Structure formats: C-alpha cells, structure tokens
Structure 1
Amino acid sequence: MTGFRLHLLRHGEPELVGRMLGRTDSPATPKGIAACAERAGGLAVAHRITSDLSRARACAEAIGAAEVDPRWRELDFGAWDGLAAAEIDPQALGRFWDDPDTAPPPGGERWSDLVARVRGALDDLPLEPTLVVTHGGAMRAALHVLCGFDNRAVWAFALPYASLVTLQVWDGSPRSAQVTGLVTA
C-alpha cells in the first residue's frame, strides 16, 4: 500500500476574530500569515493546496505557490456567518455543536456536506507529500474521513490559528491515515 505525508495547516489569525467565519472572507493578519510561514518552514512537500478564501490563500502564498481548491473551504455557517457566538440563539447554537448534521445553521451547510466536499478533495490528492492550507472545520472533516473520528472526537481537537496536523495517509479504498503530529501555538 502506497502512503504519503499530508500536512493540514490552519490559516493564520483573521482580522475578524471570535466570529463564525465560514464563507465570510476575512483576510488573515500579517501576524497570522507570518505564523503560518514559520510553522510550515521546514516541511518538505511536493504539492501545496489552499482554500480559495483569502485568509488561507494569503498564508499559502507566503509559504510558496499553491493550487487553489474551493473544496477546502470552511463550513458555510449560513445566517450565522460573520456573527459572534453571543449574537446567536444559544439553544440553536447548542443543537448545532451537539449534532452539526441534523441541526445546521439556518441556510448553512450540513456537516455531511462538508465531509463529502473534503472527502472528494482528499481522494484527488497526489500520492506525494502535500501541504493543504485550510480551515478548522475542513481539518476536522479530514480527520473524520481519514481516521474515522466521530463528531465528538473531531471537535475535541484544539486547532488554533496556524496549527499543523501531520498525517501518514495510506492509499486504499477508502484512504485512511494515522495522525503523526499535531503542532499548535
């Protein structure tokens, strides 16, 4: 079975912090971009891929040229997008955190839709060391797909801005992985 290293790097700190940032395209701060460039500095990769949102794209560009793939976008928070948690009905938000598939944000994306998007992106990865600059939700979806973690387990991972998860991915049907490293700020 052929394997490869997959590095998932969460984008740097955005200008809008403490908000539900899905499709809201808040740029990364210069400090956030620098943190990602430093975190990825020693990685030997053959491919770089990034979400199309500017907070990820700017970080990827600081590391080197990257292919843009919108499937690595964050979960779409619908009517909640851009809002702080305090601005959202606490009961609705609690239902979402308990089960993001059956209680998605109004007009937003279901967890299973994000997982399907990320699964397609994972299936299309080359069998060579790859860096993906993405978002916390997409990283959690990748952990779900590759490692089989359930909803509770993926949300237990602390993934602050500029955190890096390294996986050894085995090419099979389906692909699977083992977490080999987790670096956070």
Structure 2
Amino acid sequence: MDLVIWRHPRPAGIAGRCIGRTDVSVDRRKAKRLAHAVRREARRQRWPREVWTSTLCRCTAVGEMLAAWGWRHHRDARLNELDFGAWDGAVWDDIGAAAVQAWCEDFTAHAPGGGESLTALSSRCQAFLEAQGPLSAPLLIVGHAGWMQAARLLCEHGEPPHDAAQWPVPPRYGESWRLRPGAASLA
C-alpha cells in the first residue's frame, strides 16, 4: 500500500501562531489549485478518484473541490493535525521558550499545551493505516504537516523519535510525499 499525501494549502492569518486543531480557512483559489494538482497526478498515474482528508477545513476545502468534480471524498478525524491544547491558536512568543523546551526534553510523551503527545498522534496515524487494510491502489490524502511527519516516521522507522532533532522537516504547503508503509509500521 502506498500513501500519497499532499499538505494542505497555506491558511490565511497564521503567521507566528501555533496551529494544530484550530480550524483556519484557506483561500478558495489555493484549494482549487491543489485540487487540480491532485487530480492531474491521479489522471497521470491512473489512480482512483478517491481522496481522504482530515475534518479541518484547510484540508476538506480541497476534498470538497474534488468531490464537486466527481471524486469520492472521505473525512476522517484520525487525519487531523496534532492537538496543541491551550497552545492551539496562540502566538508562539506568548507560549514561550520554556514551555517549548519542556516539550523538547520529553519529546514523544509530553502533551504540548495539555493537548496530545506525539506518541498519541503516532497511534492515531497507525490506527488509520491499519484500518485501510491491503490496497490495490495508492491511498490519496490531503493532510497536515504533523500527521505527514508521523506517517513518514512510522513508514520508515516504525515509531516516533525520542529526540526533537530527529523529527522530519515539514513538507511545504501543497507538497506531496509518497510513502510505503513497511512491516515495522503495520506490525
């Protein structure tokens, strides 16, 4: 089973803010541009006209655009971004370096802002992958950077890193990653 995951378009008004479950919108033109890119790649590769998204509007906007063109669109909360709890939507400078450092010191187990740990995000990601079962065609997803990073680590290493420095660089907005879950991630 391959996963082809596109990061959602850049949301409006997020500069300097911690954005996880905060439901921020994207410009309709950006959503349409990404939907065209997904559709074009699916045509080229002869992939099914089916897409999965998180329940947050920065991803569903793309899925809804594809659905208007005849695609099947599935929304799944297991694809949502990391829950940053009280940090969510806050300005990073207001959160403070000490709070971020506390997270980095216990990177996988700490729940930033009292929200969700990276271990919990990885478990959610794992549950989604296992629920898909064996597939004959790639699974197309429009998702979030944190979920994509967790999926990459599961596919390549089977677990999240214990050191913040080992967390993968996030994908750019609109960038796609093709991942192949290995035996370690689905054991």
TM interval, short-chain normalised: 0.7 to 0.9
| Structure 2: distance between partners of 1:89 and 1:159 | 24
Flag the 1:110–1:174 CA change in 2: closer, same or farther, 3 A: closer
Q: Summarize the alignment of residues 29-40 of structure 1 with structure 2, pairs less than 5 Å apart.
A: 29-40=27-38
Match of 1:7 in 2: 4
Bigger drift between 44-53 and 95-104 goes to: 95-104
Amino acid at match of 1:51: S
Q: Summarize the alignment of residues 17-166 of structure 1 with structure 2, pairs less than 5 Å apart.
A: 17-18=14-15, 19-40=17-38, 41-43=40-42, 44-46=46-48, 47-64=50-67, 65-97=72-104, 99-126=106-133, 127=135, 128-148=137-157, 150-151=160-161, 152=164, 155-166=167-178
Amino acid at match of 1:7: V
Hey, which of these two has a bigger chunk of helix by percent?
2
RMSD across aligned C-alpha pairs, in angstroms? 2.3
- Max Rg structure: 2
Bigger drift between 45-54 and 97-106 goes to: 97-106
Deviation at 1:154, TM superposition (A): 6.0
Bigger drift between 25-34 and 74-83 goes to: 25-34
| Structure 1: distance between partners of 2:119 and 2:156 | 16
| Structure 1: distance between partners of 2:41 and 2:185 | 30
- Percent identity between the aligned chains? 29
| Structure 2: distance between partners of 1:174 and 1:90 | 33
Amino acid at match of 2:153: H
Q: Are the equivalent residues in 2 in contact too, given 1:77–1:107 (CA < 8 A)? A: yes
Give the TM-score of the pair, scaled to structure 1: 0.81
Structure 1 stretches of 4+ with a deviation exceeding 4 A read none
Segments of structure 2 that go 5 or more residues without pairing to the other structure are: none
| Structure 2: distance between partners of 1:5 and 1:154 | 23
| Structure 1: distance between partners of 2:171 and 2:105 | 18
Alignment partner of 1:93: what SS?
helix
Deviation at 1:68, TM superposition (A): 0.8
Q: Are the equivalent residues in 1 in contact too, given 2:21–2:84 (CA < 8 A)? A: yes
Segments of structure 1 that go 5 or more residues without pairing to the other structure are: 177-185
Flag the 1:60–1:99 CA change in 2: closer, same or farther, 3 A: farther
Give the TM-score of the pair, scaled to structure 2: 0.80
Q: Summarize the alignment of residues 159-174 of structure 1 with structure 2, pairs less than 5 Å apart.
A: 159-169=171-181, 174=185
How many residue pairs align between the two structures? 172
Deviation at 1:93, TM superposition (A): 1.1
| Structure 1: distance between partners of 2:100 and 2:63 | 31
Flag the 1:169–1:122 CA change in 2: closer, same or farther, 3 A: same
Q: Are the equivalent residues in 2 in contact too, given 1:143–1:154 (CA < 8 A)? A: no
